[in-house]
Amino acid sequence: MAYVVAALVVTNVLTLLNLLLLFGVIRRLREQQNNPVPPGRPGPASLPVGTPIEAFTTTDTDGRTLARDALPDGAVVAFFSPGCAPCEVLRPKFVAHAESRPGGRDGVVAVVVGPPSETAEYVSLLAPVARVVVEEPGQGVVAAAFAVTGYPAVFQLDGEGRILLSDASVDRLAVPAA
């Protein structure tokens, strides 16, 4: 009988310890949900600096043709995905940066990757400051040209279509002189 009591005591102690650990894990997961990862952390989002971007041609939401060869020196191309917490954090900073760039919308491209039903909010907020392209996940020519695998991704290009900067933020982007 003593062995049964000892086994029950050990089992109950282990169960309580397991329950405490489970509550700790749940608390940590809730903290992570409430604190999205800030943009600017390097991720698996892109090709390395100096890589030439493959030529692409697509149509923006205004119905205008957008091609890599037509992008000006210093052009900024950013990739967003609806439902991406870091994209939500980056979006207002991107809009502010785009507004501060000389030359208007032609030197700023925002690619929103997602189903059309989910991209409308991004398009309405980004269209006043950038040329916006909407692409389906895994089917976009612009995302394929930049080899984007994570969001957000921000690129700055030189006049020959090579990557000058690749980041997940706009903090390091150069603003060309007017």
The pLDDT tens digits for 116-138 are: 889 989 999 999 999 999 999 88
Whether residue 72 has a cis bond before it, omega within 30° of 0? no
pLDDT confidence of residue 28: 84
Boundaries of domain holding 28: 1-35
Phi-psi region of 94 (alpha: psi -120 to 50; beta: other; left: phi over 0): alpha
Q: Is a pLDDT exceeding 80 seen at residue 82?
A: yes
- What is d(CA 88, CA 109) in angstroms, rounded to the nearest whole number? 17
- pLDDT category at 111 given cuts 50, 70, 90 is very high
25 and 64 housed in the same domain: no
Q: Is a pLDDT exceeding 70 seen at residue 37?
A: no
88 and 151 housed in the same domain: yes
Mean pLDDT of 51-56: 91
Mean pLDDT of 31-43: 57
- Backbone phi, then psi, for 166, in 5-degree steps? -135, 120
Examine residue 105 and state whether it is found in any structural domain, yes or no.
yes
What is the pTM for the complete model shown?
0.72
CATH code, domain with 144: 3.40.30.10
61 and 31 housed in the same domain: no
31 and 62 housed in the same domain: no
Return the residue matching tokens 């907020």. Answer: 125
pLDDT confidence of residue 89: 92
Examine residue 143 and state whether it is found in any structural domain, yes or no.
yes
Indicate the number of domains in the chain. 2
Is the CB of residue 149 less than 8 Å from the CB of residue 45?
yes
- pLDDT category at 41 given cuts 50, 70, 90 is very low
Examine residue 65 and state whether it is found in any structural domain, yes or no.
yes
Examine residue 49 and state whether it is found in any structural domain, yes or no.
no
Examine residue 72 and state whether it is found in any structural domain, yes or no.
yes
- Backbone phi, then psi, for 14, in 5-degree steps? -65, -40
